[in-house]
């Protein structure tokens, strides 16, 4: 399959200049469907295709730049109002009538007219409403994470959350359902995993005993040894997958648990696991041959003023070289381990 590149045309260059004149960045323009890559446009500038270099430089020099915004009380009030609506500052600054994010950040740092203080108060107000919704969800006993307006403002919640009994009950319910602590705390509406571990160390409201009990009985990876499970692990390792990749599956134990079974040689598992690793390396060697022999997308069709021609696709070649190098390193590490044994 041959990938078609985009060659220079006068209408396409005029469209890019018009978009730059409207204040858009070159990266945003080239992200649109049917547009060339930014590197391709810069190549047109260097080659000065049809006088494009002078037009591009003229647009970039003045009219294509983002207009400067002067600080005003009305503009600052509008930004604070949108922050109280649950939007992040980055999202607000993407609006056409808003200044760039760096400009607003400078206004906050200088605290012009108390703007920085008002922004912090707006974020705190949204965060408090979000925490209240989390507590209400935990009190209701439905076990579901809070939603609604709190979900829209989730990114504004401070990661250091004060301990509350409803919040602890919600985390315990999620642990009882079999979810890992890191997965639970990945939700931006909940405290960070380090915060929960701090609650355990301080034993807030007897949380340490409940947390420890749940981790022993319901934590992922605490799986009992069985022949069928280890046989499935060997099958997946023989397919060329690493042990860490296999243990990321929902129905698999932790990698440390599997290594413990290998070290204890439970029911002859050590011999079966090493044989599976050996067959897995053969699978990786087969993949290396497939990568070397695969010539798809090695050429792209380049359109130019002197006609179309096929040229090498550097992105595909680099990707294939990277895949080949990583598999070679994996095989070399395994062979060194075998020789050491």
Q: In this predicted structure, what is the pLDDT of residue 178?
A: 67
Domain span including residue 8:
3-63
Domain boundary among 63, 92, 108: 63
Do 231 and 289 reside in the same domain of the chain?
A: yes
pLDDT < 70 stretches in the chain = 1-5, 62-68, 127-161, 178, 215-223, 292, 330-331, 333-341
Determine the pLDDT at residue 148.
44
Residue at 36 is within a domain: yes
Domain membership of residue 98 (yes or no) is no
**Is residue 83 situated within a structural domain?**
no
Q: Do 249 and 148 share a structural domain?
A: no
- From 154, 184, 218, the end of a domain falls on 218
The predicted structure's pLDDT at residue 131 = 57
Please indicate, yes or no, if residue 20 is contained in any of the structural domains. yes
**pLDDT value of position 146:** 43
Tell me, what's the pLDDT at 65? 45
Model pTM score: 0.33
Residues 288-315, buried b or exposed e (16+ Cβ, 10 A)?
A: eeeeeeeeeeebbeeeeeeeeeeeebee
33 occurs within a structural domain: yes
Q: How far apart are alpha carbons 236 and 129 in whole angstroms?
A: 46
In a domain, 285, yes or no: yes
Please report the pLDDT score of residue 338 as a whole number. Answer: 56
* Phi/psi of residue 131, nearest 5 degrees: -65, -40
Question: Quick check: is 144 in a domain?
Answer: yes
Q: Verify that 233 and 331 share a domain, yes or no.
A: yes
User: How many domains would you assign to the chain?
Assistant: 3
Q: Look up the CATH number of the domain holding residue 237.
A: 1.10.10.60
pLDDT at 306: 74
Q: What is the pLDDT of residue 151?
A: 43
């Amino acid at each position: 399959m041959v990938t078609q590149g985009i060659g220079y045309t006068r209408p396409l260059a005029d469209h890019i200049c018009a978009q730059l004149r409207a204040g858009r960045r070159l990266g945003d323009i080239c992200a649109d469907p049917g547009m060339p890559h930014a590197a391709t446009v810069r190549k047109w500038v260097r080659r000065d295709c049809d006088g494009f270099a002078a037009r591009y430089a003229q647009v970039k020099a003045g009219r294509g730049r983002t207009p400067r915004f002067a600080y005003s009380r009305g503009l600052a009030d509008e930004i604070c109002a949108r922050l109280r609506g649950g939007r992040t500052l980055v999202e607000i600054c993407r609006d056409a009538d808003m200044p760039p994010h760096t400009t607003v950040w400078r206004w906050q740092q200088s605290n012009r007219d108390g703007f920085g203080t008002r922004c912090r108060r707006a974020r705190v107000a949204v965060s408090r409403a979000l925490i209240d919704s989390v507590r209400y969800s935990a009190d209701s006993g439905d076990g579901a994470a809070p939603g609604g307006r709190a979900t829209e403002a989730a990114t504004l919640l401070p990661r250091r959350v004060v301990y509350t009994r409803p919040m602890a009950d919600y985390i315990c319910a999620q642990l009882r359902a079999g979810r890992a602590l890191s997965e639970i705390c990945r939700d931006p509406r909940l405290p960070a995993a380090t915060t929960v571990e701090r609650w355990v160390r301080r034993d807030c409201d007897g949380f340490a005993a409940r947390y420890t009990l749940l981790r022993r009985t319901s934590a992922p990876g605490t799986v009992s040894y069985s022949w069928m499970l280890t046989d499935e692990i060997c099958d997946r390792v023989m397919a060329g997958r690493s042990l860490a990749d296999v243990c990321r599956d929902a129905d698999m134990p932790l990698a440390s648990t599997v290594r413990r079974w290998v070290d204890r040689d439970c029911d002859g598992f050590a011999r079966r696991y090493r044989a599976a690793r050996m067959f897995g390396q053969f699978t990786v060697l087969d993949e290396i041959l497939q990568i070397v022999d695969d010539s798809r997308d090695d050429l792209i069709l380049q359109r130019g003023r002197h006609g179309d021609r096929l040229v090498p696709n550097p992105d595909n070649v680099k990707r294939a070289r990277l895949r080949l190098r990583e598999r070679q390193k994996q095989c070399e590490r395994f062979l060194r381990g075998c020789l050491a044994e």
